[in-house]
Amino acid sequence: MGDHSASMSQASRILLSLVAGLLLGIGLAAWRPDQAVALTAVTQPLGTAWLHALQMVIVPLIVGLLVTGVAAAAEAARAGRIAARAILIFIAILWADTLLSALVMPALLRLWPLPPGWGESLRAALAGAAPVGEVPTLARFFDTLVPTNAVAAAAADAFLPLTVFTLAFAFAVARLPEAQRTRLVELFQAIVDAMLVIITWVLMLAPIGVFALAYGVGARTGAAAFGALAHYIASVSAIGLLVLVAAYPLAWIAGGIAPGRFARAVAPAQAVALSTQSSLASLPEMLRASQALGAPAATAGIVLPIAVAIFRATSPAMNLAVALYVAHLVGASIGPGALAAGVATAAITTMGSVSLPGTVSFIASVAPVALAMGVPIEALGLFVAVETIPDLFRTVGNVTMDVAVTRIVARWGGAPEPVSPDAAS
C-alpha cells in the first residue's frame, strides 16, 4: 500500500463521490429530514453490497499473496547472505513498527478523541457496524492461534488462524523441490491475478458504492461527517509520520549515519515518493541516496529491489491504526487478546501486500486486521475514499526506511564504502 501509482482519476472520482454523497445527504436532511432518512433504505443496501463485493475476494487474495510473498522472500534469501540479512531486518522492523502502533494509537485517541457529537453521529450512521463475531480475549487468542480446520477458519473470516496456517503452508512450499515449488507458486499467482481482475471490476463501481455509503452518513450526521473524516486522516497519518521519523535515529544508531546527513541524502527520493506515491518510481533516487550514504552499489542493487517488492515499513503500523480507529469510532473495547490478534495479523499479512495499488491494498490489508480483532469493517468504505492523504505518509515512510535499511545492511555486512566526514558526526 502506498507504493504503486493507482489511477489518480479513479481516486479523484471516488473522493468526489464521497463529497457529493455527504453534501446531498446533509442538504436533503436540512430540507426534508424524514425523506432524507427514508432514502437510506435504498442507498444503504447499495453501499453494503459494494462492500461485500470487495470483501468476498479477501480470503483467496490474502492466501495467494502470502504464498507468493513468502516464496519471493525465500527465493531472495537463497540468493545470498546480503538478501537474507536484509529480510531479517525487514521482519524485525515490521514487528517493531506494529508494536509501536499498538502502543501509540490508543494513547493518541485517548489524548485526542473524536469529539463526542461527531462520534455519536457516525455511530448512528453506521448502525449496522456491530462487532464481528466473538471479540478475542487473551486466552482465546492463544486457543485459536493455530486452526483445527483451515477451511472453517476461512469460512468464518477467522483471519489470524487462517494467516498462521497460510504462513506455515507458504514456508512448506518454499522447501519443496524447484519444479513443484514453481508450479504451486504459479498457481497461487494466477489466483491473485484473477482476484485482482474481480477487484478491478468492483472498483469500477466504487463511485456508486462510496456515494451510497456517504449519502447515508451525511443524512444521519450532517456536517459532523467532514470533521470526523479529518480527525481520522490526522490520526492515522500521525502513525505513518512516526514510522517515517523513526528511520532517522535507526540510520544513526544502527547505520552510523548522522540524522542531518541522512536527511540530505534521502530528500530527493522522498520528493519523488511524494509526487508519484510509488516506491518503484523512487527506486533510482533511493539507489543514489544509498550510495551517497556509503552502501556499495552491489549491496544497494540487491537490498532495494527486494525492499520495494516485499517490504512495507509503514503498512502494518498504519493498518493496525485504521482498525483501532474504527474500534474507537464504534465504541468497541479492544482488550489484550484483540490487540494481540491485530498486531499478529497486521505484521504477518504485510508480506502479502506486494504489487497492489493503494485502493485495493487498503481493503485487502486492513479488513483482515479489523476482522481478526472483531472490529466491523463498514467504515472502510468511507475511509478508502480519503486514503490519498495517509497514502502519502505510507509511501514516503517506506522509501525513507528502505534507504535506512540499505545503509544498515551495508554496515553490518562489513563492506560500507567511505562517506564524507560529516556522515557519522
Phi-psi region of 256 (alpha: psi -120 to 50; beta: other; left: phi over 0): left
- Overall average pLDDT of the 217-246 stretch: 87
Amino acid at 294: G
CA atoms within 13 A on the CB side of 289: 29
Phi-psi region of 331 (alpha: psi -120 to 50; beta: other; left: phi over 0): left
Distance CA(265)–CA(270), nearest Å, equals: 10
pTM of the complete model: 0.82
Distance CA(8)–CA(369), nearest Å, equals: 26
Distance CA(229)–CA(277), nearest Å, equals: 21
Q: Whose grid coordinates read 525487514?
A: 90
pLDDT in tens, 318-355: 999 999 998 888 877 888 888 998 999 998 887 655 55
Q: Quick one: 189 exposed, middle or buried, by C-beta within 10 A (0-12, 13-18, 19+)?
A: middle
Distance CA(384)–CA(386), nearest Å, equals: 5
For residue 116, how many other CB atoms are within 10 A of its CB?
A: 8
All structural domains of the chain: 8-424 (1.10.3860)
Reduce the DSSP state of residue 126 to 3 states and report it: coil
CA atoms within 13 A on the CB side of 68: 22
Reduce the DSSP state of residue 314 to 3 states and report it: coil
Amino acid at 402: D
If residue 150 lies in a helix (H) or strand (E), which one and from where to where?
A: helix 150-155
* Least confident range of 51-60, 147-156, 369-378: 147-156
CA distances from 189 to 71, 110, 155, 163 (A): 11, 42, 21, 17
Q: In this prediction, what percent of the chain has a pLDDT beyond 90?
A: 29
**Per-residue H/E/C for 62-93:** HHHHHHHHHHHHHHHHHCCHHHHHHHHHHHHH
Predicted confidence (pLDDT) at residue 164 exceeds the cutoff of 80? yes
Most confident of 84-88, 259-263, 311-315, 408-412: 259-263
Distance CA(330)–CA(175), nearest Å, equals: 44
Tell me which of 63 and 44 has the higher pLDDT. Answer: 63
pLDDT at 422: 46
* Distance, first Cα to last Cα, the chain: 35
